Amino acid sequence: MKFLKSIATATALSLLVIAPVNAAPIKAGSVCTKPNQQQKSAGQTLVCKKSGKKFVWRIKVDKPATPPTTPVTPTPEVKRLAVYAGGAGGSQAMSFELPVSVVPAPANTNLKLWVYHPKFKNQSLRSPGIWLRKTGEEWKWFPNGNPDGSMYFNIAPGSYIFDTVEPDNNTKDFSRRTYSLTVSAAGVASVVGLKPNTAGFYTVSVNDQTNRAPAFVPTSRCQILDRDVNRGMNVGFGKSANRLTSQGVVKALILPIDFASLPGTGVPAEIFYNMATKMDTYFKEMSNNRVSFDFQVLPTWHRANFDPAIYKLGQWNGGDPHSYYKSALASADPVVDYSLFDVVYVLSPKTVPWSLIAYGPAFPTDISTEDGSVKNGTFSGADAYQQNDTVAWQWMAHETGHLFGIFDLYTISPQASTYGVWDLMANNWGDYLELNSWNRYIQGWLTDNQVRCLEPNQLSTPVEVTIDRLNYRNNEVKAAVVRLSDTKVLVAEVRRSGGYDKMPENLEGVLVYTVDTTIESIKGGYQVQRRVGSTNPDFIDAALRPGDKVRVGNVTVEVVSRGSQGDVVRFSN
């Protein structure tokens, strides 16, 4: 019994030990013993943290939840052309006092001209008259030249251009110069870029064609001389001094022009960046880095002070493009110094409709401004943007080709094609955009070491030439040229897919063509020689492959073999 009593007593004591006890709440700052231990007290969570040499309870502060992050797409860098900051330019030049006595002017004269020799300002040119064209109308001939050089006219109010005319049809030494003319409602005539002298005469002249590099000396028998069948451009050697340089940097201005009926939107420096830079890259490639372009563009659209519809440019090769281009230059003359540039591109908004401006030709000619002559330029029409922005540079490059002096290689119906599509100057919307080797040679972009020159009398024993593919950028032989006469050559070059040419392998090969310097641009001076079985009207199947041969006159051209980099071509009589 005593044992059972002891058990009961122990149980009772045990129950007394584990019974719930209302302990006092833990207070922040009181001492604790286990680091990082957590306790709930009065609705708060406390954690045991070291403070000095002891541990105390601290109120736990929960960190706010971090929201999920959204990936940030970087904003692409906007590429821009350099903005023009050259100022307004110079003022009108003063006509000089006449060095000779002239017949008096009729009473009803409102325009007095004195036409002088371009080399000798004290001499009359004895020009027979001028060609005059009112905006929106056709050219008219005014035979009004006096032996003393004076010309007198009574011109109705309006906007005009006029051409001074070479004496005695001497187009070898002279070419016509174009001036802009305005006649106010009161009948006051003004020549753009000139002020009259004290007697009221405007002193004007023609262009001196004897500056057409007369000192050019061929360094190869295959450098046949140009025959000047298109003034201002060349298909042979002896480049006009007025065309864009083939060696160095070309200073180029983009004049973004819009109209009340066709406002431009966006930033021109951004809009025309791709067009300009891709064109620049193209000519760097074609010239093997011998030439490049330094572009500037007006910071905003320049609102023209005329309606472009009056020039009737709504169909290809129609209307008055010359007057349109001159009017565009004149409109911006107060804000631009054209003397700073080698070439001026007048570019319209890309939304320009075909019905307003269908096409944009090149102007390798003098256009008078208050800052002197603009000798090279072009303007854009809907044709520049007919594809999309990624290839608009091809239009610009084609027209710039003319400003280097290069001919068009296409023909116009009903004349059949003679060259097809094998060059940017033949079809700038095609897949064969490499400039051919002859066009590069006359520009100095291929050297004599890269052009194997042959003559028929050398070919009694066959001559084999290894020709490197044209679209490889190196200093290897790129063409073989046979001099057929003083005015005609035969050219062979290797065309493969790559660079700016895109063609299936079965159409690759040796392109053989002739160049006749007596035939003007667009008239078929370049003639592709077809391989047997070639029938495509664009000559895309004309290139020779191993075993193929063609005969031109008494010269036979045969492809001997094809290599990874070029072909071996045999020339014989």
d(CA 272, CA 252): 13
What whole-number distance in Å separates Cα of residue 361 and Cα of residue 461?
A: 47
The helix/strand/coil state of 374 is: strand
The count of domains in the chain is 4
Type of residue found at 123: Q
Q: Is the residue at 233 inside a domain? A: no
Report the distance separating Cα 381 and Cα 367, nearest Å: 19
| Gap between the Cα atoms of 454 and 517, Å rounded | 18
E strand map for 63-164: 82-83, 93-94, 111-116, 130-134, 139-142, 150-153, 158-164
Whether the CB-CB separation of 204 and 191 falls below 8 Å is answered with yes
Residue 59 lies in a domain: yes
Residues 273, 325: one domain?
yes
User: For residue 526, what are the β-bridge partners?
Assistant: 515
Do 330 and 194 fall within a single domain?
no
Same domain, 261 and 381: yes
Same domain, 381 and 475: no
Q: Is residue 21 part of a domain?
A: no
Q: Scanning the structure block, which residue is given the tokens 């045999």?
A: 570
Residues 197 and 277 in one domain: no
Beta strands in 342-499 (DSSP E): 343-347, 362-363, 367-369, 372-374, 377-379, 451-454, 463-468, 479-483, 488-495
In a domain, 184, yes or no: yes
Of 379, 404, 429, which one is at a domain's C-terminal end?
Answer: 404
**Residues 396 and 442 both lie in one domain:** no
CA torsion, ordered 417, 422, 423, 424, to nearest 10 deg: 80
Are 393 and 279 in contact by the 8 Å Cβ rule? The answer is: yes
Domain boundary among 63, 81, 114: 63
**Other Cβ atoms closer than 10 A to 302:** 19
pLDDT for 211 equals 58
CA within 13 Å, CB half, 542: 22
Phi, psi of 370 (to 5 degrees): -70, -10
Instruction: Report the distance separating Cα 174 and Cα 120, nearest Å.
Output: 13
What span, in angstroms and rounded, lies between the C-alpha atoms of 512 and 464?
15
For helices 273-286 and 392-404, what crossing angle results, to 10°?
Answer: 50
> pTM of the predicted model, to two decimals?
0.81
Quote the tokens at residue 253. 């201005």
Residues 34 and 97 in one domain: no
Distance CA 112, CA 150 (A): 7
Residues 198 and 286 occupy one common structural domain = no
DSSP state at residue 105 = P
Q: For residue 287, is it within any domain?
A: yes
Residue found by looking up tokens 């060349």 in the block: 234
224 domain residue, yes or no: no
CATH number at residue 344: 3.40.390.10
Closest CA to 372 of 175, 84, 87, 91: 91
285 and 397 belong to one structural domain: yes
Alpha-carbon distance of 144 to 130, in angstroms, equals 7
Residue after which a domain boundary falls, among 41, 63, 85: 63
What are the mean pLDDT values of the chain's consecutive 10-residue runs (573 residues total)?
42 40 70 85 82 80 66 78 90 89 94 94 92 89 91 94 89 84 95 92 88 74 93 91 95 98 97 97 98 98 95 92 92 94 97 96 89 94 83 96 98 96 96 98 98 96 98 97 98 98 97 98 98 97 98 97 96 97
- 400 and 253 in a common domain: yes
Residue type, 92: Q
User: Looking at the structure, do residues 289 and 400 belong to the same domain, yes or no?
Assistant: yes
Whole-angstrom Cα distance, residue 47 to residue 114?
Answer: 105
Separation of CA 517 from chain center? 26
Domain membership of residue 424 (yes or no) is no
Residue 344 in any domain: the answer is: yes
**pLDDT for the residue 287:** 98
| CA 49 to chain CA mean position, Å | 74
Domain range spanning residue 497? 437-572
According to the model, what pLDDT value does residue 208 have?
82
CATH number of the domain to which 168 belongs = 2.60.40.10
